Structure 1
Amino acid sequence: MASPGERAGEPSDRGRPVNDVQLSKFLSYICRHGAEKKGLTVQEGGYINVDDILELREARKNGYSVSDVQRVVANYPKQRFSLRSKPNDDGKLQICANQGHSLEVKGLDLVPILRPEEAPVVVHGTYRRAWEQIKKQGLSKMSRNHVHFAAGLPGEDGVISGMRSSCQILIYIDMKKALEGGLLFYRSANNVILCSGDENGFISTKYFEKVYDITKGVKLDYY
């Protein structure tokens, strides 16, 4: 499957070259964070009318079309977006981000994880520069609604999203402890594991199972 970067410069319906990486970043911002700031209506499940997005100044400036959006959604390897025809209405095309929102979204397509065996591997990827802070406070959802985890390592069967392949440190979660501790975990449509943390948006280090610096090949202490 081709990535957006491999299709950068493909002509749009209007005959102008479209940078698919730039378009995917634009769609990510709108669907995850910026829809309300741009005056767009976010429907249940996080869906937004594609036509409304294409009327935004940035979209018109770059000549984006419906077919451009469809191509990026179809070819994006991490499957961060979903498309549908608007239900019970005029059948207009709508788009949503599968996860990663800072917007409050009702009815997002998330499946609760109720038992540890439903998610045998839950791992968060991060960078060495963030590790000292994580050791002190745990993982933070920061400005987003959830902390993101992968259901395995990048490239493994069924793992298409959840962490960047450039991550230096892997933090594995002890799901038995975390679920017993009252943390709520969900699986998104593109198989990303999500957790909003405790009442302050943190996941304590007491729920860590193991931590590795994969660039150095060493196990890290976090007590």
Structure 2
Amino acid sequence: MSRSERSRDVHLSKKLTFVLRHKAVELGFDIDSGGFINVDDLLAHPMFSHFTVGDIKRVVTSNDKQRFSLKEHPDSKKLQICANQGHSFQLPDLELVSITDPTQYPTVIHGTYLKNWDSIKLQGLSRMKRTHVHFAQGEPGENGVISGGLSFFLSKNGVILCPGDENGLIHPRYFKQVMQTHPRELLSCT
């Protein structure tokens, strides 16, 4: 794949992320309860009119973070696409698996910028305008995770999600440790 083709795919991926996670309703797309919209409808929109079904299929299959899913609508047989997680609007039928056994994922990791640490240390992790705080799966074999009554879910693409408490926050008391990656250094949680 040439550099210009990669650039085009990155551009399409960013547009898909923006629309499917945040703006599908606002832009007038018919979105089902699981977050799927018809690919034909998407391609008919001016934002996507210079892309093809092949472009979308390639971006979906080659995306290393598996941000999107494609399926055929069971009745109309039309190709549909959705974002696997990261929505800023509620989707009642988003295919999430409830995590009820903390030993399955004893450590979950949330990545952010160091500039956000002072606020996080005081208030906790916020889902902000999204419906969940996002985590990567931690290293297997670690023990001692406390849920504190918070619900955790696994998305189709393996991202751990938590809606937080009633205010959309995960309090710092639930942080096992905080690590700065560059330079690698343990940060104080207090």
Match among 60, 63, 86 for residue 73 of structure 2 = 86
Is the CA contact (8 Å cut-off) linking 1:174 and 1:208 kept in structure 2? no
Percentage identity across paired residues of the two chains? 47
Q: Is 1:128 aligned to residue 114 of structure 2? A: yes
The alpha-carbon distance between structure 1 residues 129 and 109, as it changes in their structure 2 partners (threshold 3 A), is same
Instruction: Tell whether the 8 Å contact from 2:86 to 2:131 is kept in structure 1 after alignment.
Output: yes
The alignment's TM-score, normalised by the length of structure 1, stands at: 0.80
* 1:20 to 1:134, Cα distance in 2 relative to 1, 3 A: same
Which secondary structure does the structure 2 equivalent of 1:136 belong to? helix
Question: What CA distance in whole angstroms lies between the structure 2 residues aligned with 1:118 and 1:194?
Answer: 14
CA distance in 2, matches of 1:174, 1:46: 35
State the shift of 1:34 in Å: 0.5
Partner of 1:139: 125
Displacement after TM superposition at 1:173 (Å): 11
1:41 aligns with 2:39: no
Q: Deviations over 1:166-214 (max 9, x none)?
A: xxxxxx9963x22xx2100000111000001000000000111111112
2: CA distance between counterparts of 1:122 and 1:74? 25
Q: Which residue of 2 aligns with 1:73?
A: 60
Equivalence for 1:159? none
Which residue of the partner structure matches residue 99 of structure 1? 85
Aligned to 2:45: 56
Cα pair 1:173 1:210 within 8 Å, conserved? no
Q: Please, what is the CA RMSD of the aligned residues?
A: 2.1
User: Could you say which residue in structure 1 is the equivalent of 2:153?
Assistant: 186
2:180 maps to amino acid: D
CA distance in 2, matches of 1:130, 1:18: 30
1:50–1:93 CA contact under 8 A, matched in 2: yes
Change (3 A) 1:20 1:8: farther
Q: Is the 8 A contact 2:124 2:171 kept in 1?
A: yes
TM-score by length of 2: 0.93
| Local SS of the residue matching 2:88 | coil
Structure 1 spans left out of the alignment, 5+ residues: 1-5, 11-16, 157-171
* Structure 2: runs of 5 or more not aligned: none
Task: Tell me, yes or no, if structure 1 residue 219 matches structure 2 residue 183.
Answer: no
Matched, 1:202 2:189: no
2:17 to 18, 22, 28: 28
SS at match of 2:188: coil
Distance in 2 between residues matched to 1:173 and 1:35, nearest whole Å: 40
Give 1:18 shift. 7.5
Contact kept? 2:106, 2:144, Cα under 8 Å: no
CA distance in 2, matches of 1:183, 1:173: 17
d(CA) in 2 for partners of 1:8, 1:148: 30
> What secondary structure, in the 3-state scheme, does the structure 1 residue paired with 2:34 have?
helix
Does the residue aligned with 1:120 lie in a helix, a strand or coil? coil
The amino acid across from 2:162 in the alignment is C
- The answer on whether the counterparts of 2:71 and 2:81 sit within 8 Å (CA) in structure 1 is yes
